[in-house]
Structure 1
Amino acid sequence: MAPRKLNSLDRFLLRLLGRTRGPGGAVRDLHYMQEIFRFSISFTLLVIAPLGLLTTLALESIETETVANEVSRNERAKRIASRVQLELVETFERFELQLSPSLVANTVDINRLLDEVPALRGAYAFDADGGMVAPFTNPVELPVEDTLPMAWRKAMDRGLNLATRDNIPAAIDAYAEASTSTDVPSLVAEALLMRGQLLLQQNERAGLVVLDRLAQDRTSPRERRGFVVADLAALTYGLHLASKTGTPRVEGLAILERLVKDIHKRTWPSGLPNDGFVQRRALDVISPSLDPALRRLYETDLRRRLSLQFWSSTVFDELDRVRNRPVTAGTFTYVDEPKSLWVLGRAAETLWAFGFDHDALTKQLGRSIVETANEIDPDLTAALASSDAPFADVLARQSLAPILPELFVLVRPADPTALAQDRRRQRFARQFITLMAFIAAGLGALLAARLVLRELDEARQKADFAAIVSHELRSPITQIRLKGEALQLDLTVDDQDRQAHYDAIVAQAERLSRLVDNVLDFASIERGSKTYAIKSVALKPLLTLTARTMADEARAAGAPLRVNVPDHLPRVMCDRDAITQVVLNLISNAIKYGASGGVITLEAQLAPKGVRVAVADNGQGIPKESQDRIFEHYYRVASTSVRKKRGTGIGLTIVRYIVEAHGGNIGVTSSPGEGATFHFTLPLETPRGQGA
């Protein structure tokens, strides 16, 4: 067969490729491109085109089907929506009937309502001025940090700093100074409380006197964080005595029980659960000695009040809006807010606001909707939706006003006629199968193309590898020959020059030996015949000796090698020669690609799963996109500065194989321009009696 003549496109590509690859490389790359082009054309004509044609025909053959709803089904849909709305109205009518007698008598039992009425999360009473009277009082205004007297703040800060440094006497004096620097009762009480707590550490009797005086103050104010000073004083007093034995412990438990009882009877401020925190701490201590029934009463009430406080904090802005709504006595007003539905009722001068959680209410309605739809027509489905929800395919739409005017019940067909259902199923199946076939073909084409490109690229890399290895072998052999001939012909100047020639011959021989070892190891790895003699090895001598071998080469490259290996490293399980080769390859790479004037570091340290060895340089670094590929065989970073360096592209492949064969792992950390750190781990020696 006559050779194919080059056309104008081939000549253009040869000229373009020849600029970077040379004449021989350009011809080889052109051949690769032609193979890829022929494969792509064949695959497109034989696979993609037929599949695309079949897919188009299949999709065009699928008919669009529309199922009309009959009048009777529309009527059933309206019945479902109307019944849900009616049930919601009846639910709240029952709530109003249940509530009316106690509302008129102003004897609303909040706890009973919260237990009995689903979705009810809070009940609040307001006086004629809009102030909250139950179950909490109006929020308490606490001192603002910026408005506190400067002298008091400085004395308090000084006391805190002194107490932190365990200078208790000076801290006590600072708090005493703070208590006399202002006439604001809450600030005076807070300073005295801090002083009393510290006095317990220095003079127990004096501290208890101060705390007892504060605890007995029935008009005690709240400190900056919102705690009642008397409560904190009583808690500190009681906990201190309860930590003792005998009579003091009994007295301490009695103080804590009185504290729990007082807080239980007290009405907390809205948005301030601090009283509950104090009660919880005291209750934890006295629980073992309390009557079980009384303990359950306290704990149940505490949980309910803390839960109500939390929920109240989430709807505080809504409470502010509804408390001023005009409500006529004997009637109920419904206010739909973003988080809650509020039912307002008035008894004499007291306004009651009952808050229903939107989420809980809609969940309850959702269950009712499902049950109603299944009862009237299982082929229909109903759901709640907001006013801006799309109404496509809706058979019935019913507002839930006046209770929830922003919500609607939407009824849609769940199962059209059996014939339409079968047609939809078949149409979907045809579409799905056709599309999956097309997608699978596309993915297969991409995968096949990628595999072919990878194989072609690997073939080119193997060809390049042979050329690189030949060059790498020739370079040290040439140097050995030149130095040897100089010695043979006695061309050296003196003994020092002669010794330099000998050293150069040894260095080039070592370089040649490493290259040959890498090539042989790579060949063994490729065949799968490489084995290792793994045994217990002391790592520091191995690393030190290996570093010493490479020290002169590193120094000659202008990047001295530093070793940082601690003496106490445990022994590891490895093949000594193989790990030596790993370290040699990593140091060689650091010398090759490190920056002149920089430093190469070899270090080792104990890691969670073994010993971590790292080699770091200050060179040009490795691009992020190449860091996952540098351990692949033949791969080299595609940059001009890297390509100018000699290298076979198999060193890191061998390193990865050896490390993984030892049960370790290897990785690299690098940023362009900031150097690179290669690190690997080796497993520790297994103690006797614990190995497999």
Structure 2
Amino acid sequence: MILLLLIVIACLLIVVVFQFYSKRTLQKQLDTIVKQVTPIVENQISSPILLATTDGHVANLLIALNKLIDQNRAHTSHFIRTEQSMKHMLANMSHDLKTPLTVIAGYAEMLQAQASMSESEQKRIINHVYEKTEEINSLIHSFFDLAKLEAGDKQIPLDRVNVTEICKQTILMFYELITNEGITVDLDLPDRPLYALANEEALNRILSNLLSNALRYGASGKVIGLHVSEEAPYISIEVFDRGTGIQESDQQKIFERMYTLEESRNKHFQGSGLGLTITKRLVEQMQGTISVVSKPNEKTSFVCKLKRVNP
């Protein structure tokens, strides 16, 4: 009887000692985690928490914390990119507003200073003022359109849209302008209607932006193309040119707000820098994708893919 009691007491002592050391080990592991978490919180360090443990609960805690750190790193990186993009956008917008405003101010001074100016000269100057005013108006409208798209305030209803017909109508709008520049049109549209889940107004704007972009940057290649094909389950729309193209480093930024190629800061060649950003947002709202591939002086291709629907 005494022997049995001693065995029980020994077992209890072993359990108590095991629990004591387990608790102590757990406390040390938690203290180590806290020491690694503190600089991450205070100094915005994004290194993972490293700890060797055989405790399943502690291991699960480490996995969860490291996932949270990864998400925080991604959000921080996105915030930095967005902040830089906004600064770049504001700088470019300031430049693009300042240029036409300076011209308008100059013409206003001319009208004010030269009272004996001929009527034809006055009309010429007023026409220039009107053009620059429209330029400013267009830029502001583009800016607010983008703001509405990114804020989710502008809803785009989707329906079955005849892509073939819209492409025909859009290229006809640009045909005279393109041919007057001595540019060849490479057109490849299917003989039958192809339908996609889209919005007619949005698709018109996307195509207009892409064709305008091809004219602005690719006219030197003397070829502008529009190809439409069926790549189940998508309808693929390709707009391309054979101009100077886009360097690989610029291809990653081409859809950013207000991004324009540096050599194109000349207003004769560049737009507001919002066109491609708006294009991308519109494509995404129609549940599609858009990509760019460019080989300078060979081919610069923008490909938009929309979900195909049955006739």
TM-score scaled by length of structure 1: 0.31
Residue of structure 2 equivalent to 1:427: 28
CA distance in 2, matches of 1:561, 1:474: 37
**How far 1:602 sits from its partner (Å)?**
0.6
CA distance in 2, matches of 1:630, 1:449: 19
Structure of greater Rg: 1
CA distance in 1, matches of 2:82, 2:94: 18
**How far 1:460 sits from its partner (Å)?**
4.8
Which residue identity is paired with 2:93?
Answer: F
Residue of structure 2 equivalent to 1:680: 304
Residue of structure 2 equivalent to 1:224: none
Maintained 8 Å contact 1:559/1:594: no
Maintained 8 Å contact 2:221/2:244: no
Unpaired segments of 5 or more residues in structure 2? Answer: 1-16, 47-68, 107-118
Residue of structure 1 equivalent to 2:263: 641
Maintained 8 Å contact 1:557/1:596: no
Residue 620 (1) aligns with residue 244 (2): yes
Provide Cα deviations, 1:487-515, integer angstroms capped at 9, x if missing partner.
x849xxxxxxxxxx9xx99xx79x95976
Residue 596 (1) aligns with residue 257 (2): no
CA distance in 1, matches of 2:223, 2:246: 17
Residue of structure 1 equivalent to 2:168: 544
Residue 665 (1) aligns with residue 289 (2): yes
Residue of structure 2 equivalent to 1:564: 188
Matches within 5 A, 1:221-370: none
Equivalent position to 1:458, from 86, 95, 100: 86
* Superposed structure 1 runs of 4+ greater than 6 Å apart: 444-447, 472-476
Residue of structure 1 equivalent to 2:153: 529
Maintained 8 Å contact 2:221/2:241: no
**How far 1:429 sits from its partner (Å)?**
3.2
Instruction: Label 1:606 to 1:531 Cα distance change in 2 as closer, same or farther (>3 A).
Output: same
**How far 1:617 sits from its partner (Å)?**
1.4
Maintained 8 Å contact 2:288/2:304: yes
Which residue identity is paired with 1:647?
Answer: G
Equivalent position to 1:437, from 38, 59, 79: 38
Maintained 8 Å contact 2:195/2:310: no
Instruction: Label 1:530 to 1:473 Cα distance change in 2 as closer, same or farther (>3 A).
Output: farther
**How far 1:519 sits from its partner (Å)?**
4.3
Partner secondary structure for residue 160 of structure 2: strand
Residue of structure 2 equivalent to 1:553: 177
Q: How many residues are aligned here?
A: 244
Residue 650 (1) aligns with residue 274 (2): yes
CA distance in 1, matches of 2:230, 2:224: 20
Residue of structure 2 equivalent to 1:366: none
CA distance in 2, matches of 1:475, 1:617: 32
Which residue identity is paired with 1:438?
Answer: P
Maintained 8 Å contact 1:547/1:561: no
Instruction: Label 1:523 to 1:666 Cα distance change in 2 as closer, same or farther (>3 A).
Output: same
Which residue identity is paired with 1:607?
Answer: E
Partner secondary structure for residue 242 of structure 2: coil
CA distance in 2, matches of 1:430, 1:451: 31
CA distance in 1, matches of 2:167, 2:102: 30
Instruction: Label 1:546 to 1:469 Cα distance change in 2 as closer, same or farther (>3 A).
Output: farther
Q: Which moved more, 1:565-574 or 1:527-536?
A: 527-536
CA distance in 2, matches of 1:619, 1:475: 30
Partner secondary structure for residue 271 of structure 2: coil
Instruction: Label 1:627 to 1:453 Cα distance change in 2 as closer, same or farther (>3 A).
Output: closer
Residue of structure 2 equivalent to 1:468: 96
RMSD over aligned Cα, in angstroms?
4.0
Instruction: Label 1:430 to 1:532 Cα distance change in 2 as closer, same or farther (>3 A).
Output: closer
Partner secondary structure for residue 220 of structure 2: coil
**How far 1:666 sits from its partner (Å)?**
1.4
CA distance in 1, matches of 2:31, 2:270: 58
